[in-house]
Structure 1
């Protein structure tokens, strides 16, 4: 059975023929495959919609329309996602078709090697460092209180107010963690795994409100300057500065990456480096290369960039290496590639942050991307 179905729906670049497109068209229209198609569409929640909103007939119509357009144009190019409104559905359809092709060809899946699976799904946890250097571990289900803040184990909330004497706290999120903080000015900050934020326990009246994303990823919903006597808000990083008046944006600045990404959701921000600055509009993302000292701006799919705060990973044309780096932070694991060629394979999908890692790896294996995987304590080996 030719691999045209998998390649077509996984956005791979390939040389296609009319015969191959007709094969895919016939497969979708075959009543014997209708249930398989329907089951896998229904298996996954849409990016922003509940399961009940799925329209199987509409999904099929979109694929058929795309096939007809491709047959009319008929030239070599990179196939875009067929169902833009349901990336997850298209990925799970690839799984379905992979199973179908293997069943037709009589091949058997190799069982994964599980020596000792100690990998846990990430959860709410953080380390709070007070101004005197004392460290407090914040964990889900355990409350804690300081003279100016309260934590219920899932978030920490600072008392509103201003002060002339500014003391700073640090909130550090380990691998396998996440946390929500409400600053003294009412600004909401969501911190992703392996991140650290430095911030004042109170802000000076009328002065610029300043925090520092030391490293990692954070989503900011900034309290408007109109609520603070016109005081603007700045987020510092060693290699850039973001200035805002009242807005929502995401900054990703991990220590092991050469780029800093700032994505604007609402409002307006100015991203500055030592040599230049850029004004971002909603749905734009700046990329600061800290090695070359360059900055560029592009339009992005915002929902994919900030999905992590809503409990999802939306993967759009990421390499397997990039995907495993994301997963390694959330599940606190080490990933080894037996075959380096696997690192550059790209595919799309939607993953829940509550999924067991073994389930995710089995799905990737079913895509045909890897032959097998092994879990030994907190080390994953892809083969």
Structure 2
């Protein structure tokens, strides 16, 4: 396969225009890890060219960007790429925050202020961990690479799996899965529904469901992505996700709910299928790529058209920020890295960024990337507290 052809396929892939047959060509072509550099470089440069051409209408800048693209392409020989799947492709992208700085610094030679104060930096990226509260009130610590087994449930340290053969005869017994700040975990419920839980989240769910009756779980707080087992496999039983301020009802679908305790809005994003969102005496119907937002201050529900793919990248260990303020970004970071973030200048909270970053990155690397955009002068890390100046 020629370089030009594979680049065309990658471009279509990144812009969501690739068909299943074409994607299969890319998957076949991506077998050798030695070619990861080609994929990284091609994606990185194209992201930057697109971003900078929108940001600046200057022929000089366009020319320099294209020159940089051509220069980097010459340094790379075409080899086979490692096999990837659709949702994980963005994981190899270094991100617009990184690459925007790379080109801004080289194109404009902006002086970069260097003062950074780091005292006792013990901040670590989040990992797989959770607390499981059983029906008898006992608590089990679940950790990465730690095996847990008991009766109808087993965990490999990343995912909790309940036996799908279990059927509650009458009353329901509930378990709770609590994800701390700096953690994430997955659970496969007894009906086959899969749930991804983000940092600082808590889910209440039955150990087994009563056959033929609605399947109900409660997202007490936090963020969760649901891949619901279809109702047709459960004698038509609907699936409901409850929250103190809303109810989401589905037959079988994929959707994301974000309902953090420290936020005054609840976001429900539909990836596939159909759902109804009810709250404050109002009901809305969502179709794929729609997001409902419940304003907890006034009870209003609004519907926005969005790219649902970006909203669920967190399940693939990726941060995806599209026109997000620095305050919104730092809220996400504070949960994942379990830190406190303080802004010395409130105006900095409003600055907006676009970027795709790995959740495995060191917090210092991410802060340095943001700092090199020249929006912030410096930052300070002291124990579990970050001060942005």
State TM-score, norm by structure 1.
Answer: 0.80
Distance 2:86 2:370 in 1: 19
The structure-2 alpha-carbon separation of the partners of 1:300 and 1:153, relative to structure 1 and needing over 3 Å to count, comes to same
CA contact (8 A) 2:322 2:355 kept: yes
Shift of 1:159: 1.2
CA contact (8 A) 1:125 1:174 kept: yes
CA contact (8 A) 1:171 1:196 kept: yes
- In structure 2, the gaps of 5 or more residues are 1-47, 76-83
Q: Secondary structure at the match of 2:356?
A: strand
Distance 1:156 1:305 in 2: 23
State TM-score, norm by structure 2.
Answer: 0.79
Corresponding position of 1:9? 52
Corresponding position of 1:180? 186
Tell me which of 121, 125, 130 is aligned to 2:129.
Answer: 125
Encode CA deviations 1:318-357: one digit per residue, 9 max, x unaligned.
Answer: 0000000001100000111111111000010001011111
The structure-2 alpha-carbon separation of the partners of 1:323 and 1:34, relative to structure 1 and needing over 3 Å to count, comes to same
CA contact (8 A) 1:176 1:331 kept: yes
Q: Does 1:24 align with 2:61?
A: yes
Q: Stretches of 4+ moved more than 2 A in 1?
A: 8-12, 20-29, 31-39, 45-51, 88-93
Q: Does 1:299 align with 2:298?
A: no
Total equivalences in the alignment = 331
Corresponding position of 1:142? 146
Q: Does 1:153 align with 2:190?
A: no
Distance 1:97 1:173 in 2: 38
Shift of 1:21: 2.2
Q: Secondary structure at the match of 2:58?
A: helix
Shift of 1:308: 0.2
Distance 1:357 1:239 in 2: 33
Distance 1:32 1:175 in 2: 41
Moved more, 363-372 or 122-131: 363-372
Q: Secondary structure at the match of 2:360?
A: coil
Q: Does 1:196 align with 2:202?
A: yes
Corresponding position of 2:243? 237
Corresponding position of 1:94? 100
Distance 1:321 1:10 in 2: 26
Tell me which of 321, 339, 359 is aligned to 1:333.
Answer: 339
Encode CA deviations 1:219-241: one digit per residue, 9 max, x unaligned.
Answer: 00000111111111000000000
Corresponding position of 1:162? 167
CA contact (8 A) 1:119 1:377 kept: yes
CA contact (8 A) 2:88 2:316 kept: no
Q: Secondary structure at the match of 1:328?
A: helix
Corresponding position of 1:316? 322
Distance 2:85 2:99 in 1: 13
> In the TM superposition, what are the counterparts of 1:204-223 in structure 2 within 5 Å?
204-223=210-229
- In structure 1, the gaps of 5 or more residues are 40-44, 55-85
Encode CA deviations 1:237-278: one digit per residue, 9 max, x unaligned.
Answer: 000000000000000000011110000011110001131100
The structure-2 alpha-carbon separation of the partners of 1:376 and 1:309, relative to structure 1 and needing over 3 Å to count, comes to same
